[in-house]
Amino acid sequence: MKITFLKWGTVSLALLVNAASATTVLAQDQSSSQSSPAAATPAPEPEKKADPSIAQRKENQQDRIANGVKSGQLTAGETANLEKKEAAINKETSTDRAANGGKLTSAEKAQVNRQQNQMSKQIYADKHNANTAHYGNNKVGQRRENQQDRIAQGIKSGQLTPGETAKLEKQQQGINKQVGSDRKANGGTLTASEKKQVNKEQNQASRNIYKKKHNAATQPNAKKP
């Protein structure tokens, strides 16, 4: 009887020790879970503001050029130069997309952005320098202004591509240069034959403007006329 009592007493003591150990471990687990942050949920990062897309920057530049043409802040020569550079950027972008399955790499996007930054600075400089388009209060000046207004509208609507605009403005630049030379040779006026010649050239320019505004070549944002 005595031996049996000691045996069962030893077993009971072991059970008590195991129960106490389990209670201690459970208490430690609960304590550690309460003291640590809730499952380490990371705070959401602030949303980054998206950079303007390549297409959006392109449209913004064209709008600024159109406004400069309309206001007379950009001469025909300045506009032709700006649009020639814009056409080169567009051609490079198109070539890169064709080589990459219709997309641009990060490096190519960065390159286009740098080029458009330079364009933006030049547009501002050209619009704020001393060179302006003076139309004059006469029929020749009025005709010239009308042509520039039509070109500006074509740029704004997307009907004229930068390449088309560069060609049209180069044509206007040639006419303007001729008029300036004729006026200088005649004490500031034009002879009747010179006016007739200018009108003939502007008729041809007018037809070119119409054709380029109504052909299949348009900017991505083009609106139907």
pLDDT one-digit tens code per residue, 114-141: 999 999 999 999 999 999 998 888 999 9
User: Residue 77 belongs to what domain range?
Assistant: 54-213
Domain count of the fold of the chain:
1
Contacts of 217 (CB under 8 A, 6+ apart): 161, 163, 164
Range picked from 4-18, 45-59, 203-217 for highest mean pLDDT: 203-217
Q: CB neighbours (10 Å) of residue 209?
A: 25
Let me know if residue 100 belongs to a domain: yes
Tens digits of residue pLDDT in 147-196? 999 999 999 999 999 999 999 999 999 999 999 999 999 999 999 999 99
The answer to whether 54 and 93 have CB atoms below 8 angstroms apart is yes
Calculate the alpha carbon distances from 114 to 49, 90, 124, 185 in Å.
Answer: 19, 13, 16, 45
Rounded mean pLDDT, 42-55: 59
Segment (H or E) for 114: helix 106-127
Taking residue 126's Cβ as centre, other Cβ atoms within 10 Å add up to: 19
33 domain-assigned: no
What is the average pLDDT across 42-46? 53
Neighbours of 43 (CB within 10 A): 5
Per-residue pLDDT tens for 99-119?
999 999 999 999 999 999 999
Residue 115 lies in a domain: yes
Q: Classify residue 97: in a domain, yes or no.
A: yes
Assess if residue 187 is contained within a domain.
yes
User: How many whole angstroms separate alpha carbon 84 and alpha carbon 151?
Assistant: 15
CB burial of residue 84 (10 Å; 0-12, 13-18, 19+):
middle
Contact yes or no for 61/127 (Cβ under 8 A): no
pTM over 0.85: no
Res. 40 pLDDT band, cuts 50 70 90: low
Residue 157 domain-assigned (yes or no): yes
Domain membership of residue 194 (yes or no) is yes
How many angstroms separate the CA atoms of 81 and 190, rounded?
28
| Residue from 152, 105, 104, 164 nearest 127 by CA | 152
Residue 14 pLDDT: 47
Structural domain includes residue 202: yes
